[in-house]
Chain A
Amino acid sequence: MNDPDHPVNLSRRHVLKTGAAAALGIPFLNSVNFSHAAGDESRSNTFTPGQAKAVIEIWMWGGPSHLDTFDPKPGAGPDYCGPYNEVVKTVADGMVINSKLPLMAKQADKFSLIRSMTHGVNAHETASYLMQTGRSPGDGQVYPCIGSVVSKFKGYDAGYKGLLPPYIVLTQPHGRFSEEGFLGPKYKPFATGGDPSRNPFTVQGVIAQGITDARQQSRRDLLHSLDTLGKANTNTRDFKKLDECEEKAYSMILGDARKVFDLSSEPAALRDKYGRNSFGQSCLMARKLVENGVKYITLNYKGWDTHKMHFNLMNQKLPQMDQAIATLFEDLAGRGLLDSTIVWCSGEFGRTPKVLWNEPWKGGRGHFGACFSSLVGGGGFVGGHVVGASDEKGMEVADRPVYPQDFLGSIYEKLGINPEGTLPNGRGEHVPITIPTQGKGRLKEIM
């Protein structure tokens, strides 16, 4: 698809490399001019072959507190940090994180933190949409989330022929504000359902309990011999499509795909290390999916909307998160997969730095979109760095604001998807993949 000798590609790469456009503060305008000059929409979407081949997204639905995870503020006092007044030094120079995350601290050379994420929106759905699409809602079209965009450029459209769908959500779907939007159902994620910590992991539609292969096969034959309408009306496009879908479905039900979902083949010690809980085993599952060619995996990690009894909940969740994410980085690196796999981890926003001690919250934190933290590592992102900073109480961005489109654009770039390329919006128009930023743009510091 990508023609490295094409002059347009060369010139765009040149611009990006020199950072000339970004330095001028008009990266978007410049690139648009380039693609228009080229007069060839299809070429404008991929550029330098990216280092990254796959993405694991850990989506902390509900919005985790930045102060209690990656941006601790022990100096701000108990009104801000509650009982969490201890930090742990990481293996990365100068980076400290909440002391409840000691295992992640040991892997900190493999990821970087962005402590100056901002979009200012405090409503779950709009904030999620912003973080997933890099756009504000309301301009009359619904944009695809990053997973669908990656699925488009790295999945079937790019000749993907894997055993499994190119875009998978473990385990529950995300919700409408972070799906395929105008790209259409082809780019929807496959949500597995089930629970990878159970045996077997009953993947929706792929693995059903108590039905043998022989029975699957004999039922399939029965279905075909009773397909009277299909046989009476053979010449319809819909029916042909349906038959193709059935082929694909059966290749997952009866083929090798389900072996991928079988975690019992993994060493027990490794499974223990990830944590024998849904999130831990989902992380292990995600690694297996990457190994098997899946392009984009979202772990929908719920339970971060902690308005009440915040610290009790964090005491339960942080050790689980620490164990699983640390092991994921270690495991990916150990298998040589980290160089080609981006792992990112974020909620839609952070939580109010000031603790709400009063009834009815009893030590809760509200929604906070002004300043929060995200994590990114692998796939060519440099580890061990901190990008940007919040002020001493985590209330505002103190340095280097990073907007959702900057963050997503950086991931696209590492995948070899041109963030300034375009998407067909289903009305015959091509819209830019990312919009211009108010900030300093993509994360050059760690790229």
Chain B
Amino acid sequence: MIISDSLGFCRQSTGLPVVTVILTLALGSLGAETIEKKTEKNDGQAKAVVAKPQVPPAAPLVVPYESDQAPVPATRIDQLVQSVLKKQGITPARTCSDEVFIRRVFLDVIGTLPKQREVVYFINSNDPGKRAKLIDVLMARDEFTDYWTLKWCDLLRVKSEFPVNLWPNGVQAYHRWIRDAVKENRPYDVFARQLLTSSGSNFREPAVNFYRAVQGTDPEAIGEMVALTFMGVRTEHWSENTRKEFGTFFSRVAYKKTVEWKEEIVYLDPEANTPLNAVFPDRKKITIPAGDDPRVAFADWLITPENPWFTQSISNRVWYWLMGRGIIHEPDDVRPNNPVSNPGLLTYLQGELVKSNYDLKHLFRLILNSQTYQQSCIPRSKHPYAAAYFGHYHMRRLDAEVLVDALNGFGNTTEKYWSPIPEPFTFIPEDKRTITLSDGSITSQFLEMFGRPSRDKGYESERETNPTEFQRLYMLNSTEIHARIYKSPVLKQILAQTRNDKPATVRMVYLSILSRRPTPQEAAVALKYFNGPGKKSGSTGAVYDLAWALLNTKEFLYKH
């Protein structure tokens, strides 16, 4: 089903979905026993790794993060990135290892950790095209839709209460509409146009919730939101006059309530029936005839391919989402004095977007298949702007939702999500993963602690990734973390299967948490711990401790 979706809607179809079927089936059929054998065989290889002179042999290979494999063929993106790196004197990072790649691409593309069997299958495969194939498999999975819907809901401010008051009916309609758009990979220009120009009831014409999810109904407040969402511009940097002029396009949006609770109709004010003089952000003037919707005039201007604002903003956002840093950074703060770190790269992406008829998946695929994306996170340059010029992969902490799903997946635990407001309370079925949550105001201490965005304004920076001591306390010593470890069916299975084979236990625990095998040094440390003072050799408690330690490593907490 997933595959037929991707076939039906991918305009840049490459015939890969056939491979997809095979790969998915193969992943599904691998049993634990196979994992054992393959893993062992591969451990031998890992030990024999010798750095080949593919890259300048300045530093020894950092196992397990870097690869001595030849990088994927350079793409246009890589040429553009590398020419800037060269000019700046920045040595790019090496290519990341397969272990790093599979975990990274799962987290970046579908917000989900790979399963043990998926990891083993991937790292054991000799197919030189396996990375590209995996990218396509992932972009066709349901979790892709879930995860990118979540991201869009952040920007489009999908939450039922305070301070935007969409309320549950509006939220559900809006969320479902966004989800459909992501699922069918709706061309981005169409998507934007629908959000900007819809009229009707917020329950029946879901896209109008774009206008309801603004704090305030005055034209300037709406303009602020439109500029941020579709132009990556914060109007606070504009002059008051420009803000006012921009607001003109939204000055005829009207709202009216119905008898149904919290239903509201967004429409074009019929009273305002005079021609309207407005000025576009590029200073071009327009007179909108009486009776015409000025929002349509704006949308027409916005989505012309020649208008750099629109394509620049979304291309930069997609780059930011996957690379962790915008070519213009912050990605929603485009202004003359915020430099573009690689103008050629941004122009290229914009061109590709237009050429592909606004296919965002096309941009995803281009970026994910580049050497630049597939670099390791270990910098090889001390240049202060190595990250800004994309000289290595930019590490960042797992999103709150992704992290709690990962912990629940390991612990076979679920979250009880509910919202006390409005009455009657809303309860979310427990088997739903967190990345599928529609409403940004669903109660969750975990999500708040780990920086779920407030969805108040739609800034990218509302998602908070700075570490805090409370997060650390939670991970190190909370009842929930302990319970997840003690109850983990993953650990139970590992313990049952590898009872007398401690190195295998260690290997399996590593695979299930860090999506990789341990290095020989790590295996030695773990085995030594198993036999440490006061412990029965490899007792369950010691295995729990190992799992606890790995869940608390930076490597688990970060995309790397």
With A185-B464, A242-B554 as given contacts, are A139 and B469 in contact (CB-CB < 8 Å)? Answer: no
Q: Verify B478–A205 contact, CB threshold 8 A.
A: yes
Q: Is B560 an interface residue (CB 8 A)?
A: yes
Q: Which residues of A contact B526 (CB under 8 A)?
A: 222, 226
Contact A229 B474 (CB under 8 A): no
In the docked arrangement, what's the CA distance between A214 and B476, Å?
15
| Bound Cα distance from A115 to B469, whole angstroms | 40
Provide the residues of chain A in CB contact with B549, threshold 8 Å: 219, 222-223, 226
Stretch in contact with the other chain, from B78-86, B273-281, B309-317, B449-457 = B449-457
Set of chain A residues within 8 Å of B548, measured between Cβ atoms: 219, 223
- Chain A: minimal CB distance from B492 (Å): 19
A140, B216: Cβ atoms closer than 8 Å: yes
Contact of A249 with B by CB under 8 A: yes
> Quick check: is B482 within 8 A (CB to CB) of the other chain?
yes
Q: Given the known A-B contacts A230-B554, A241-B467, are A249 and B472 also in contact in the complex, defined by CB atoms under 8 Å?
A: yes
Task: Judge whether A208 and B448 touch: CB under 8 Å.
Answer: no
0/1 interface trace, chain B 439-465, chain A, CB 8 Å (1 if under): 001010100110100101100000011
- CA separation between A216 and B476, bound complex, in Å? 9
Contacts of B421 in A (CB 8 A): 124-125
- Closest B residue to A62 by CB, please name it: B420
Of the 9-residue stretches A187-195, A264-272, A384-392, which lies at the interface with chain B?
A187-195
Q: Is B184 an interface residue (CB 8 A)?
A: no
B377-391 vs A, CB cutoff 8 Å, 1 = contact: the mask equals: 111000000000000
B555 to chain A, nearest CB (A): 4
The answer to whether B472 touches A177 (Cβ under 8 A) is no
Q: Within the assembled complex, what's the spacing in Å between the Cα atoms of A125 and B423?
A: 11
Q: Are B555 and A205 in contact (CB under 8 A)?
A: no
Q: Tell me if A443 counts as interface (CB < 8 A to partner B).
A: no
Total A-B residue pairs with C-beta atoms closer than 8 Å? 165
Chain A positions within 8 Å of B465 at CB level: 238
Contacts of A184 on B, CB cut-off 8 Å?
464
Q: Tell yes or no: B215 within 8 A of A by CB.
A: yes
Q: Does the CB pair B448–A173 fall under 8 Å?
A: yes
Interface residues of A in 364-398 (CB under 8 A from B): none
Q: Does B470 contact A (CB under 8 A)?
A: yes
- Verify B466–A138 contact, CB threshold 8 A: no
In the assembled complex, A165 has its CB within 8 A of some CB on chain B:
yes
Report the minimal beta-carbon distance from B67 to chain A, rounded to whole angstroms.
Answer: 14
CA distance A242 to B476 in the complex (A): 12
B21 at the interface (CB under 8 A from A): no
Q: Which residues of chain A from 16 to 47 have a CB within 8 Å of any chain B CB?
A: none
Find out whether the CB atom of A223 lies under 8 angstroms from the CB atom of B162: no
Indicate whether A227 reaches chain B with its CB closer than 8 angstroms. yes
Q: Which of chain A's residues 211-225 have a Cβ closer than 8 Å to chain B? A: 211, 214-216, 218-219, 222-223, 225
Q: Are A190 and B470 in contact (CB-based, < 8 A)?
A: yes
Interface centre among B467, B477, B545, B550 (most CB of A within 10 A): B477
Which residues from A are CB-within-8-Å of B529? 218, 222
- Additional A-B contacts beyond A208-B479, A214-B534 (9; CB < 8 A): A137-B162, A185-B468, A229-B553, A229-B555, A229-B560, A232-B65, A245-B467, A246-B476, A252-B469
Closest 8 CB pairs of A and B: A205-B473, A229-B555, A249-B472, A248-B469, A137-B163, A245-B472, A223-B549, A245-B469
Listed by A's residue number, 12 A-B pairs whose Cβ atoms lie within 8 Å are A125-B162, A140-B221, A140-B457, A165-B470, A175-B420, A184-B464, A219-B549, A228-B522, A229-B553, A235-B379, A249-B476, A253-B477
B contact set with A: CB distance below 8 Å: 62, 64-65, 161-163, 215-216, 221, 224, 236, 377-379, 395-397, 420-422, 441, 443, 445, 448-449, 451, 454, 456-457, 464-474, 476-479, 482, 519, 522, 525-526, 529, 532, 534, 545-546, 548-550, 552-555, 557-558, 560
